[in-house]
Each structure stands twice: as C-alpha cells, then as structure tokens.
Structure 1
Amino acid sequence: MRWLLRRSEILFCRLGYDYPPVYLLIADAGLILFCAIATIQRYASGVSGSDWVYLGVVWALAAWLTVGELLICTFDAVGGPIDTLIPFMMIALVSVFWCVPLDPGAAHGDVAPLLLALGAAMCAAVAPNKRGVLHLSMYLAAVVVGVAVGATDLGWMISSMVVLGWATGFLLQKQLLLMQAERRERARQYALDRAGIAAEVHDVVAHSLSIVLLNVTAARRAIESGQCPENDSDIAEALDALRDAEGQGRAAMNDVRRTIELLRDESAPEQPQPGLSDIEALIDGFRRAGSPVTARMEPPAVALSSATELAVYRVVQESLSNASKHAAGAPVNISLGPAERAEFVVRVSNPVPDGHPAGTRGYGLPGMVSRVENLDGSLRAGVEQGQWCVEAVFGAVGAAEDGVGVNR
C-alpha cells in the first residue's frame, strides 16, 4: 500500500497538484470496477469470436491507465502534460466496449458510459481551465457519436453525468487551489509573526541591557573613585546604580517571559503594551543611568492607535539604546509631536563619535523600518551635520492642533 501511495504522490507532483495520494487509488479502483461490471454485463449477454478481442483491448487500456501511470512516474516515459492522455484513453475504452453490444433489454443499464463521467472528473481535477473545457467537449462529442451510431440511446442522461463529473472535478481543483493559497498566506503570516516577536524581543533586551550596562559602568566608576574614606557618597551612588541595574534586569526578564508566552499562546497579552505615556519613564531610566537626554514632546493632534503608540515607543527605545551603545555619554535630543502636515513625527539625534562608522549593523534599524512601514509610515536614519539622526513619520493622523511643547 505504501508503494501505491508513493506512486500516486509522484504522479500528482508531476501534475502540479498535491491531492492526497489515496484520491488516485480511488479513481483507479472506480475505473477497474466499471470495467469489470461492463465486462460481466457483456459476458452475461453472450460473447464470442472477435468480442473476446475487444474485451482484451479494453483490459489492456485499463491496465495502461492504472499500471501505465507507474511507468510514466518511474521512467518519465511521456513528455508534456500527462492529463492529455486521460480523455483519449477513456473515450477509447468506452468505444471498444460499445463494439461489444448488449442485449436490447440490458442496454439501458450499461455501465460503460460511466467511464466518460469518471474521466471527465479526473481531467477537470488536474487540468487548467481551458484544457479542462476542451476535455469536456471531447467527452460530450464521444456521447454524440455514440448516439449517432446507435451504441446508446441515452445520450441526454450520459451527457448529464459527464457534465456532473466534470463539475465535481472542477470544484475539487478549486478547493485544492484555495487550500494552497490559504496555506501560503498562513505561512506568510507565520513568518511575519515570528519577525514581529523577534523584533519585540530585540527591542526589550537591547533597551534593558543598555540601561543595565550603563548603571554597572556608573557603579564601577563610583566604586573606583570612592575607595578613599572621605568620599563615601560615591559608594552610595554605586549602590543606587546597582539597584537600578537590578530592577532593569528583572523588568527585562518579565518582558522577555511575557513575549515568549505569546509564542505558546495566541491569545492577547494580559498586560498592556507600552505607549506614549511610558516614554517619560523610559527616558528617565536612561537619565538615571548617566545618559544626558533632552526631550521635547507634544501631544498628537488626535489619539493614535495602540499599534502606533507602541511603534513610537519602540523607535525611541531603540534609538536611545543605539546612542548609549555607540555614543556613550553623548547628549541625546528627542522630539515628538505632530508636524505641519498633521503627521506624528519622532526625531532622535546624537553626536557621531570620532572614528565611529556612520552605518549601523544588526537588526535594530531594519526592525524599526519594518515596524514603521507596517503602519504606512516612513523612517530614515543617517548622519546630518555630525549628528546621527533617526526620524520616523507615522502617516496623517488628523488636523494639527496648536500647542506648546513641553521641554524637559
């Protein structure tokens, strides 16, 4: 059975469809069953002489349609579309059966024409639309010829079965194509979700470690300068810096744990995501760690979505982390607020250290660009007059409101 299923898999793969392998086995079983019943019907009506030759040809064709497919898959014996063989072989099968007529009383129950309906379903399931219509025309033409030569007098019924079989195969193919499109979309969404979670983990870890390292550096310097007994205040500053580093480390662990839980559970996170109201606390954390940060923040003209607020927070967070990493101790200027075109703009700048490359490496900047562009915004980063500047524009959010910025 595994061998047969593998053969079916190879054939469907060559046809360009990923139907379950058992589908082909069902079609082959139906073909053999119809041939067997039609043969028994003719044997019961009485066969002699050349009739046996015709029945031998029938079973040779049936063997080719079943075992012959194995040869096609194994030796690649036939080039071009395999489905073009099916209508010719099926029509040939029925035509040879019609060469062995049944008794007039049994002719109305002839099973042989069902092979045309089966063939129409098989062709429609694996052929492109235009070719499938051509195959349907061939089957219907065979029915017309059969009625014309007197092989059958149930042309309308056989034609209806052929059309029904073709429609069944056509719908089966469309269902498969829709399932394939759904799987591709699901895979694309899965990749986007993984990229989003990776960006979230990167932002959380990079920010928290930056503050931890700044505090540890400050503590080390305070301890080194506080070795003299008369300067005990430096020891207290070192302890404060270490406590802050410990708090940031614990907060980072909680953020990472919450983000990892999103991988295990698709439900919405219980804790709210950071937004504009959390930026002040973010900046204060860097200030306590020793980074001189000047911020000018204006409220948006209209309320931003939670996704936009999270993106604004992450842009500021990543920019501060990069500044502390590449330009430790340098002043950082932050500006947030609506622009003249009623867009919300985030701008972060800091001096570029001498000898430091202007470009950046890693995932921070591409992650920011992707996050902003997903919200129909734009982000640019580069050196302007000796300053490394990151500017993110988050679409039009409404009419700008007059207001006075808050300087910090």
Structure 2
Amino acid sequence: MEPVWGKVRDRVRVRLGTAMARSGITLPWWVPLGTTTFALVALVVAIGQRGGTPAGVLVAAFLLAQNSALLWLLTGRIVRTWQKSLAVLAGVGLLLAYPVVPDFAPIPLAVLTAEVAAIASAGLAFAVTAAGVALLAAAWMTVGLVGFPVYTLAVLLGLCAGFMLRWYVRALDAERGKQDAVREQAMLSERQRIAREVHDVVAHSLSITLLHVTGARHGLRTDRDVDEAVEALTEAERVGRAAMADVRRTVGLLSRESAGTRPLPGAGDIGDLVADTKAAGLDTHYELEGEVSAVDAVAGLGLYRIVQESLANVVKHAPAATASVRLRIGAGHARLTIRNGLSGETGPGGGSGLAGMAARAEQLGAVLHAGPAGPDWVVDVTVPVSHGAAS
C-alpha cells in the first residue's frame, strides 16, 4: 500500500509543481494542495447542509468554488488568480442565498483571501477581501445570515495568514539565496587555492626539469660527456615524477577520495627546495635564522610556495643570475626574502605568479613586497607566527 501511495504522491507533486512553476507561484507544492483540500471539505459540508436547495444550484456552486482544482485535474494548468476569485465568490454567493445555522459556506472565502494574499499583489488581496466581506454583509442584510461578525473575522484572519505566509516564503528564498552564494564563494575560493597549488608545483618543476635538460644538452654538445648527460636526465626524471605526485595529491583535493598520506611541504622543506634548484644549475644560496617549528603548517606551506614561485621566475627571467633565499624567524613573525640579480631582464612581470603570491600573502595576513630594488629583484614577505618563536 505504501509504494502505491508514494507513487501517487510523487506524481501529484511533480504535476502540481510544474503547474505552479508555469504560473509563477513560489510556494511549496503542499500549500495549495492543503488549502484546496480544506476548502473542498468545507464546501462539501456546506452543500450537505442544504438538503432542500435545488440540485442545480448546488452543482453550480460546487463547480464555481472548485474551478481551479477541476481545471488542474483536467488540463494540468492553474487558473489565474483573479478568475479563481470571481468564481469562488460567485459559488459561495449561491450557497449564501440559502443560509443555514451554523454555515460552512463562508469558510472557502477565508481560504481564498489567504491564497490571494500569499501569491498575488496586495491590491488584489485587499480587493478580494473587501468583496468577500461585502458578500457576507449582503447575505446578512438580505437573507439573514447568522454569524456575520464571526465570518468577517475569519476572512480577515485569512488575509493576515496569507501575508504572513508570503513574508515567510520570501525570507526563506532570501536565506536560500544567501546560502547558495556563500557555497559558491567557498567553492570558488577552493578552486582558486587548488589552481595556485597546481601552478606553483608545475611552474617550479618544469623550470628545474628544463635546467637539467639544458645541462644534458650542453654536456653532449660541448664535452660529449654521456655520463653527465645521463645524470642530468635522471635528475630531470626524478623532479618530473615528484611533480606528478604533487599534482595528483593537489588535484585529489577536488574529490572526496584520499589524496595520499604524504604531507604538504612546509617551512622546513625550503632548504631541500633550494638544494634541488641549485643542483639543477641555478646559483642559489639559502640562509635560515630561528626555529622553523615556530611556523605553523599553513604559514609554512605559503612560504614554501612563495619560494617555489620566486625561484621558478628566476629560472624563467634571469637564469644566469645568482639567487639568495633568507628566512628569519623571530618573536611573532617570520620574514622571507628572495633576492636575485636582474641580469638585464625586466623581472617577472604581472603574470599569475605574482598574483598567486599576493593571494597567498593576503590569506596568511602577511605583508608582501615584490619588485626591483637597485640591480636586484626582491620578494620580501613577513608572516605572523606564534609568539614563542626564538630568534
């Protein structure tokens, strides 16, 4: 029984949701279903109360009051709000011409005002409410409708309930829009972070690999030293494989699967990075002052990537220059300085490398300066660290 009911519910939800979307109604699908059902029950009871009323009047009242539901069942479309309002007012008016005590006929009017206030303009909502109250007043003055003040209060309560539902739906939509915007911004930030990681890894690794390949070509062309060429190519292969592993680990962050157990590099790995660059043929020197343990993992990764990008820029723009890397860790901050001679070059320019370094520095709350300083190109960044760092 449950699967059958579930299939019926899903079909009703899909069909009703499609019709509501076509009509521009943003309410949840179960709201119009519930109000229509409630109005239908009240209408059936009101018709049952009028045993001596002509059958033609009762049938006409039912068709008018339920015109929107009948049209949806037959065509899958929802009638316009003002058309439904006129039909319901006419149907209820036919029933009020034959009043009973107590009378359920005014209840569909209260439901109507709530629906109109929730989905239509405020002007139409007030107009339908006024028409409903006028209809009740006419029945009270002409055929002696009992309970006119109570029914009028019900119609006004329906108006208030509709406006409250409208406000709730708008607030809910705004909150959902805000959450979607926050989610999209978080995804964009994560993609940008991963893009910077991939850029740094690939740029540096390709630079080092090209230095080794250049050394192998030079050795074969000038000295015919096969052993030296093989050693250079072997080192280039090692750097390339390490780069591929770094790229796989970084890109693995895009999926839910494990990206491996190898830790990301930090401040303690800067020395190895400089050594690899020097082994590839770039004249590079490294100086460390202080304890690298004072630099946390996030700041350490940022400093490592800045050194990586800076050395890649040196290889690209001034391969014959001498580069120096100095990391000084003091109480409360770590200062990283990368300096290289311009050798007639104009410097790294305004590519994605400098933009990536600036973005990393901003995330770390660091101060970054990058540009020419006399005959050298200098990258200087100061990062806050734990206050317990010893100089």
Aligned pairs for 1:178-189 (under 5 A) are: 178-189=175-186
CA gap 1:280/1:358 in 2 versus in 1, 3 angstroms: closer
Aligned pairs for 1:134-173 (under 5 A) are: 150=140, 152-153=147-148, 154-155=150-151, 163-164=160-161, 166-173=163-170
Q: Which residue, 193, 198, 201 being the options, matches 1:196?
A: 193
- Cα deviation code 1:70-117 (max 9, x no counterpart): 798xxxxxxxxxxxx76x97499448724641432350x33x434534
AA of the residue aligned to 1:397: V
| Equivalent position SS for 1:274 | coil
Identity between Structure 1 and Structure 2 (%) = 27
Q: Which residue of 1 aligns with 2:295?
A: 304
CA gap 1:269/1:301 in 2 versus in 1, 3 angstroms: closer
AA of the residue aligned to 2:385: V
Q: Which residue of 2 aligns with 1:290?
A: 281
Q: CA deviation at 1:314?
A: 0.5
Q: CA deviation at 1:386?
A: 3.1
Q: CA deviation at 1:300?
A: 6.3
- Cα deviation code 1:386-407 (max 9, x no counterpart): 322222333x43558663xxxx
Q: Determine if contact 1:121/1:167 at 8 Å carries over to the other structure.
A: no
Distance in 1 of aligned mates of 2:204 and 2:292? 28
Distance in 2 of aligned mates of 1:144 and 1:293? 89
AA of the residue aligned to 1:177: A
Q: Which residue, 49, 53, 60 being the options, matches 1:46?
A: 53
Q: Determine if contact 1:120/1:135 at 8 Å carries over to the other structure.
A: no
Distance in 1 of aligned mates of 2:154 and 2:250? 63
AA of the residue aligned to 1:364: G
Distance in 2 of aligned mates of 1:71 and 1:164? 22
Q: Which residue, 385, 388, 391 being the options, matches 1:397?
A: 385
- Cα deviation code 1:307-358 (max 9, x no counterpart): 2111111011111111111111211122222579x4333222222242x444
Q: Which residue of 2 aligns with 1:328?
A: 319
Q: Which residue of 2 aligns with 1:97?
A: 92
AA of the residue aligned to 1:198: A
Q: Which residue of 2 aligns with 1:206?
A: 203
Distance in 1 of aligned mates of 2:22 and 2:68? 21
Matched, 1:8 2:5: no
Distance in 2 of aligned mates of 1:317 and 1:161? 67
Q: Determine if contact 1:91/1:116 at 8 Å carries over to the other structure.
A: no
AA of the residue aligned to 2:249: R
Residues 47-56 or 151-160, more deviating: 47-56
| Equivalent position SS for 1:379 | strand
AA of the residue aligned to 2:188: A
Aligned pairs for 1:1-400 (under 5 A) are: 8-12=20-24, 22=29, 26=33, 33=40, 37=44, 40=47, 44=51, 46=53, 90=85, 93-94=88-89, 97-98=92-93, 100-101=95-96, 102-107=98-103, 109-110=104-105, 112-117=106-111, 119-120=113-114, 123-124=117-118, 150=140, 152-153=147-148, 154-155=150-151, 163-164=160-161, 166-227=163-224, 234-265=225-256, 270-299=261-290, 303-338=294-329, 342-354=332-344, 356-358=345-347, 360-394=349-383, 396-397=384-385, 399=387
Distance in 2 of aligned mates of 1:39 and 1:104? 9
| Equivalent position SS for 2:294 | coil
AA of the residue aligned to 1:237: E
CA gap 1:44/1:291 in 2 versus in 1, 3 angstroms: farther
Distance in 2 of aligned mates of 1:384 and 1:263? 39
Distance in 2 of aligned mates of 1:34 and 1:305? 68
Q: CA deviation at 1:207?
A: 1.4
AA of the residue aligned to 1:193: E
| Equivalent position SS for 1:347 | strand
Q: Determine if contact 1:382/1:389 at 8 Å carries over to the other structure.
A: yes
| Equivalent position SS for 2:324 | strand
Q: Which residue of 2 aligns with 1:78?
A: none
Distance in 2 of aligned mates of 1:28 and 1:386? 80
Residues 309-318 or 345-354, more deviating: 345-354
Distance in 1 of aligned mates of 2:136 and 2:78? 34
| Equivalent position SS for 1:336 | strand
Q: CA deviation at 1:276?
A: 0.6
Q: Which residue of 1 aligns with 2:3?
A: none
Q: CA deviation at 1:122?
A: 5.8
Q: Determine if contact 1:216/1:245 at 8 Å carries over to the other structure.
A: yes
AA of the residue aligned to 1:188: Q
Q: CA deviation at 1:367?
A: 1.7
AA of the residue aligned to 1:310: L
AA of the residue aligned to 1:97: V
Corresponding pairs, count: 368
What's the RMSD between the two structures over aligned residues?
4.5
Distance in 2 of aligned mates of 1:236 and 1:357? 36
**TM-score (norm. length: structure 1):** 0.71
Gap runs ≥5 in structure 2: 1-10
Distance in 2 of aligned mates of 1:303 and 1:173? 50
AA of the residue aligned to 1:120: A
Distance in 2 of aligned mates of 1:378 and 1:121? 58
Q: CA deviation at 1:291?
A: 0.9
Q: Determine if contact 2:341/2:376 at 8 Å carries over to the other structure.
A: yes
CA gap 1:198/1:285 in 2 versus in 1, 3 angstroms: same
AA of the residue aligned to 2:277: F
Q: CA deviation at 1:36?
A: 6.5
